[in-house]
Amino acid sequence: MHPQTTTRYTLYLDIPERDAALGEARANALLRSEFALALNASYLSALSDGDIVVDVQARERLQERIARYTVLLELDESMPELTDQQTSELLRRELQRALNASHFIRIADDDLQVVLVAREHADRRFALRAA
């Protein structure tokens, strides 16, 4: 058993959007909703045995149909001994499992790309933005 280590992940999700005409607020809310559904179905549970807090920070247009979302995940890591690279691979696998089960289908028209930008110990929980 490992001591609880609260960690904050900063991710970039490059998403080929199903509806590029969504406004930023609606798109961010939809992504949060998709994360909630995936978490309720126990996807990403390999990262943490407890709750995972999701905060969608920003959305920027990379190409006509591709948007980059900056997402923060805050969780108590179940395997804090993993390297950043191992954690990144685990995160990608878990999100791919969620995609394979049709989570994120309301926002993503195709597979999304995941980049773990930062992994740092969090001193306190962050407040979620209103939808």
What are the tens digits of pLDDT across the range 54-85? 999 999 999 888 999 999 999 999 999 999 99
Structural domains of the chain in order of their starting residue, each with its CATH number = 5-121 (3.30.70)
Q: How far is CA 100 from CA 81, 97, 107, 111, in A?
A: 28, 5, 14, 9
pLDDT at 122: 77
DSSP state of 43: T
pTM assigned to the model: 0.86
Q: How far is CA 40 from CA 45, 51, 75, in A?
A: 10, 10, 15
Q: Which pairing describes strands 48-61 and 66-77: parallel, antiparallel, or unpaired?
A: antiparallel
